[in-house]
Chain A
Amino acid sequence: RKEVEQDPGPFNVPEGATVAFNCTYSNSASQSFFWYRQDCRKEPKLLMSVYSSGNEDGRFTAQLNRASQYISLLIRDSKLSDSATYLCVVNAGGGKLIFGQGTELSVKP
């Protein structure tokens, strides 16, 4: 079993749609969690951290369920510029981050 698993997609959605990505992790001792965004042929960039209480940043909402070892990212009112690959990332301890394979999102006009 992979340490961090994501649905690879692609998710093809129209502008304005709401889309949700899910991620599961295997190490129950993991302490911190992130969503990164990676545009085609570019480096990953931090989108948001994921806190236990859930957190929101504009159109983006991240949730963490420690009991189920599950992380989610919700994007509301999607824009063309949201098209990218979204990477679920887990801190495996001591600063070492484990990246999921990524979920590809394509937002169409």
Chain B
Amino acid sequence: GAGVSQSPSNKVTEKGKDVELRCDPISGHTALYWYRQSLGQGLEFLIYFQGNSAPDKSGLPSDRFSAERTGGSVSTLTIQRTQQEDSAVYLCASSSSGTGGYEQYFGPGTRLTVT
């Protein structure tokens, strides 16, 4: 079946502009996660949605970052007033909380470059 999809695959933007990144999770998966990965670094947790519960926003680095998930499916990560340090690959993952251990399936990521 279809996996997690993300768009755009690449985004180049000027410093100070706002960007929106989209994630389509695997159908039926109730949990959705956003991470970012800077070059040569590990994954940094950003935000987590589980069903209708309030999202866990503990990983968002500043108030310029926000995310929403509409209808329990598609999610959008918004970065306002982008800075050069926001340049990274933004990865989305989804999981079915019904399976033991919360195995996550990742999308291909959006590579964001802030010039």
Contact = CB atoms under 8 A, between A and B. Distances in A.
Interface stretch (A16-24, A61-69, A72-80, A87-95): A87-95
Interface stretch (B38-46, B61-69, B72-80): B38-46
Interface residues of B, number: 23
Contacts of B103: 34, 46, 49
A34 B42 contact: no
Nearest to A102: B42
Interface string A25-61: 0000000101000000011111001000000000000
Contacts of A46: 103-105
Nearest to B35: A99
A13 B50 CA distance: 41
Interface string B92-112: 000101001111111111000
Given A43-B91, A43-B108, A94 B45 contact: no
Given A94-B50, A95-B48, A100 B42 contact: yes
Contacts of A42: 108
Contacts of B50: 94-95
A32 B102 contact: yes
Contacts of A45: 106
Interface residues on A, range: 10 to 19
A54 to B, nearest CB: 15
A106 interface: no
A107 interface: no
B82 to A, nearest CB: 22
A98 interface: yes
A86 to B, nearest CB: 12
Contacts of B100: 32, 49
Interface of A: 32, 34, 42-46, 49, 87, 91, 94-102
Given A91-B101, A94-B50, A97-B104, 4 more contacts: A43-B106, A43-B107, A46-B105, A49-B101
